[in-house]
Amino acid sequence: MFIQDNVTAKLIELEEMPERVFRQAMDWAEKDFQKQFDVLIDTGSDNITFRRNGQVITPGTPRDLVDLGNLKRSQRRDAGPGVTVFTWSGGRGEEYAAYVHDGYVPKSPSGQRGRPVKRRPWTEATIRELERVLSALLAKELS
């Protein structure tokens, strides 16, 4: 009579687990980055904002990051073994996404500095949650 165990199959499954959990976490991050564009935030702006989509936002009114949606739609995910890179361009040059994320001070054609535009770092909330998401995915895989 033979005795058969399932150790080999279980070891193969465990060996592939880190990559599987990483891929699942990056799938979650891809969706969550997109959700962050729709989160209403209070920018504390004292200015009226005239968006290109025709929306007028009054001072003190919470707002999202979506105007025409170009920045949100520009999200790209490039993946290789053990690495994933998310990028955004906004469709208006690589600087545009950085200006929105990190803030900037506009300059007039004469070189005078304008009023600073506050940073709107849409990636930070997703990155803060990533450890919790990874822990939950790992716990699920191990159970």
pLDDT category at 80 given cuts 50, 70, 90 is: confident
Taking only the tens place, the pLDDT of each residue in 23-46 is 999 999 999 999 988 876 766 666
What pLDDT was estimated at residue 94?
64
Dihedral over alpha carbons 23, 29, 35, 37 (to 10 degrees): -130
Q: What pTM was computed for the model?
A: 0.73
Q: Which of 137, 139, 142 is nearest to 28 (CA)?
A: 137
DSSP letter, residue 115: P
| Spatial contact of 37 and 27, defined as CB atoms under 8 Å apart | no
Three-class SS state of 139? helix
Q: What share of the chain is helix, strand, coil (3-state, %, to 5)?
A: 45, 15, 45
Greater pLDDT, 92 or 84:
84
Taking only the tens place, the pLDDT of each residue in 88-123 is 987 766 688 888 889 888 877 787 887 787 888 989
Task: Give the sign of the dihedral formed by CA 65, CA 103, CA 83, CA 135.
Answer: negative
